[in-house]
Chains A and B, each alone.
Chain A
Amino acid sequence: MSEKLINLENIHKDYGGKVVLDNINLYVRDKEFVTLLGPSGCGKTTTLRIIGGFETPSAGVVYFDGKKINDLPPHKRPVNTVFQRYALFTHMNVYDNIAFGLRIAKVSENVIKDRVTNMLKLINLPDYAKREVSSLSGGEQQRIAIARALVNHPRVLLLDEPLGALDLKLRKEMQRELKSIQQQVGITFVYVTHDQEEALTMSDTIVVMNKGKIQQIGTPVDIYNEPKNAFVADFIGESNILDGVMHKDRLVSFCGKNFDCLDSGFEKDETVDVVVRPEDFEIVPIEDAQLVGTVKSTIFMGVHNEIMVETEDFTWKVHSIYNAEVGDKIGLFLTPDDIHIMHKS
């Protein structure tokens, strides 16, 4: 088995001249949980559909286990898909839905019975075999859709925003459940979502996409802590993003002041994006502060307050447990590792 189970090389896709995917290079390892993350229209679903065989790339090669599969139709690919709105067959009951793929593959009914029963146990709906799918709740339909795909023992399970239609609480529950299913069955998941939190909690690897291009590939920790550009920083978690000038290695200036930072390798006086996470600010007495500003608004957010602080050149979003009043003058302090410097894209 090759290290790269799925490998996309230089994939382009356009619809009548409109470019949807622009030079996508990406590989998925066996048993990995990979998430394609990005705003709607970024090309993540198209990428998934190319892996599933529902779209053919305009250029580039799709490899599966080292073999080129560009022209392999969906029904011959060892992958199965969980669709956004589940796409269950409403004219069949739960059992027949799950058994569908096996029957097409002409597996004997005895085997089918065992495998469907096991699947129903795996998804915690053991008594649902005879139920009509239209009588099920969204969360139950979701599980049936997963079972219907997994029962075929695919090498890879593709999931297209499978939790998008569920309410928040159910979504959290299903996130945990999906992760545990993946660990139990031990197969590769390729997961599409626009929900950054979902991506951070479930994935081994996150692929951040925007406007048909891959912005960054990395582990959740890497992506959160070391976003490669302003888009990623903004999309993953909340950020303050402003212009700065890199005077030399480890010295950046913004808001008319010089700050120490940890980044290097920029040209002298290069204009850069400076990114600061709201939770990285420390609120300090004004005499110790690097930045001094006026509180414009403050909102209670549960664990912290979101305080908007206006300095001369920029309005900062600050997350802190500090209780500020509108109109207060407060001081902000940043340590060098709180400041992230990025090339302008």
Chain B
Amino acid sequence: MRNRKMAALTTVPYVIWMALFVVIPLVLIVVYAFTSKAGGFTLQNFSAMGDYAKVFARSLWLALAATVICLIIGYPVAYALSKMGPSFQRTAIMLLMLPMWINFLLRTYAWMSLLENTGLINTFFDNIGLFDLINKIALSLASDPSAYQPIDHFQMINTQGAVILGMVYNYLPFMIMPIYSVIVKIDRSMIEAAQDLGADSVTVFRKVIFPLSLPGVLSGITMVFVPSVSTFILSKLLGGGMNMLLGDLIELQFMGGAYNPYVGSAISLVMMIIVMICMTVMNRFGDGEDQAVML
């Protein structure tokens, strides 16, 4: 008992710190969200968001697309990984996590140089004569050959596709890891029991492995969706600034020309609510949190 009290005392500085730098800032965001420039209570900040409906829609849409793609790629990869030899798995997991430790900006920058009009991919296509071939075919099919504009590159950078690619590239390991860690933990005897009861391998997957891996899937979805919906640099670097996202909008209100922390707070609040909804859905299905923490 004595020890408990002594030990609890050691948390006092921590509690104060967390209150001051975690709780109060979030409270301030909520307060600011309902404060007008003059200082009074207002709902204006939220109605002002109407102007940005397009940005909201785009953010949600791109993040959703990236999440779905990550799931479609990530699940089979996680499943395949779980069937590899143990030492291979160990190395593969490390290799999977390694890019995550490289600065996000650099990872994105790597794609910039690949996707550029004069970048490596376009140069490669050019060198193998792909554009000549396309031009020839197009020219022969064109009704008015003189009006045909020959192409010398694919437009890849500064498109929504590039932004989605950036999200998938940056966050794919966050989808694979939790699914993988749930699948490898599935008790082998449970699969054997299912086989013993007459299930073939498809049924085993459908009735045993997939349901048991669902917590991992949900965790993965959140871990991809949350950073995707809140990113603020990807769109600048890969989307060419034309595909502004929520994160960019917030940045603009705090750091950019449109300085308005009140509207910025309102947008942040909405984003926080999106994140919270995500978390609630995930937590309802249980132990996803542990995996989130693992990373």
CA–CA, A55 and B5, complex, Å:
12
Per-residue B-contact encoding for A29-66, CB less than 8 Å = 1, 0 else: 00000000000000000000000001110000000000
Determine the chain A residues whose CB is within 8 A of the CB of B294 once the complex forms: none
B15 at interface by CB-CB < 8 Å: no
Tell me if B's interface is mostly helix, strand, loop or mixed.
Answer: helix
User: Which A residue sits closest to B1, measured CB to CB?
Assistant: A55
B2 at interface by CB-CB < 8 Å: yes
Per-residue A-contact encoding for B234-268, CB less than 8 Å = 1, 0 else: 00000000000000000000000000000000000
Determine the chain B residues whose CB is within 8 A of the CB of A55 once the complex forms: 1
Query: What are 7 of the A-B contact pairs (CB < 8 Å)?
Result: A54-B1, A54-B2, A54-B3, A55-B1, A56-B1, A56-B2, A73-B2
Q: Number of A-B pairs whose CB atoms are under 8 Å?
A: 7
CA–CA, A70 and B1, complex, Å:
14
CA–CA, A345 and B2, complex, Å:
36
* Distance from A217 Cβ to chain B, minimum over Cβ atoms (Å): 27
* Distance from A341 Cβ to chain B, minimum over Cβ atoms (Å): 42
User: Which A residue sits closest to B3, measured CB to CB?
Assistant: A54
CA–CA, A54 and B3, complex, Å:
8
* Distance from B71 Cβ to chain A, minimum over Cβ atoms (Å): 42
Determine the chain A residues whose CB is within 8 A of the CB of B3 once the complex forms: 54
CA–CA, A56 and B3, complex, Å:
11
Determine the chain A residues whose CB is within 8 A of the CB of B1 once the complex forms: 54-56
Q: Ordered nearest first, which 7 A-B pairs have the shortest CB separation?
A: A55-B1, A56-B1, A73-B2, A56-B2, A54-B1, A54-B3, A54-B2
User: Which B residue sits closest to A53, measured CB to CB?
Assistant: B2
User: Which B residue sits closest to A73, measured CB to CB?
Assistant: B2
User: Which B residue sits closest to A49, measured CB to CB?
Assistant: B1
* Distance from B116 Cβ to chain A, minimum over Cβ atoms (Å): 55
Per-residue A-contact encoding for B214-250, CB less than 8 Å = 1, 0 else: 0000000000000000000000000000000000000
Interface residues of B in 84-137 (CB under 8 A from A): none
* Distance from B8 Cβ to chain A, minimum over Cβ atoms (Å): 16
Interface residues of B in 1-51 (CB under 8 A from A): 1-3
* Distance from A55 Cβ to chain B, minimum over Cβ atoms (Å): 6
Determine the chain A residues whose CB is within 8 A of the CB of B2 once the complex forms: 54, 56, 73
* Distance from A244 Cβ to chain B, minimum over Cβ atoms (Å): 45
* Distance from A10 Cβ to chain B, minimum over Cβ atoms (Å): 20
CA–CA, A55 and B4, complex, Å:
11
Determine the chain B residues whose CB is within 8 A of the CB of A56 once the complex forms: 1-2
* Distance from A19 Cβ to chain B, minimum over Cβ atoms (Å): 16
* Distance from B5 Cβ to chain A, minimum over Cβ atoms (Å): 11
Interface residues of B in 149-176 (CB under 8 A from A): none
Per-residue A-contact encoding for B185-224, CB less than 8 Å = 1, 0 else: 0000000000000000000000000000000000000000
CA–CA, A186 and B22, complex, Å:
59
CA–CA, A73 and B1, complex, Å:
11
CA–CA, A56 and B1, complex, Å:
8
Determine the chain B residues whose CB is within 8 A of the CB of A73 once the complex forms: 2
Interface residues of A in 52-89 (CB under 8 A from B): 54-56, 73
Determine the chain B residues whose CB is within 8 A of the CB of A54 once the complex forms: 1-3
CA–CA, A56 and B4, complex, Å:
13
* Distance from B234 Cβ to chain A, minimum over Cβ atoms (Å): 46
CA–CA, A57 and B1, complex, Å:
11
CA–CA, A323 and B2, complex, Å:
59
CA–CA, A255 and B128, complex, Å:
106
Per-residue B-contact encoding for A263-294, CB less than 8 Å = 1, 0 else: 00000000000000000000000000000000
CA–CA, A73 and B3, complex, Å:
10
* Distance from B7 Cβ to chain A, minimum over Cβ atoms (Å): 14
CA–CA, A73 and B5, complex, Å:
14
CA–CA, A54 and B1, complex, Å:
7
* Distance from A3 Cβ to chain B, minimum over Cβ atoms (Å): 30
User: Which B residue sits closest to A74, measured CB to CB?
Assistant: B2
Per-residue B-contact encoding for A154-170, CB less than 8 Å = 1, 0 else: 00000000000000000
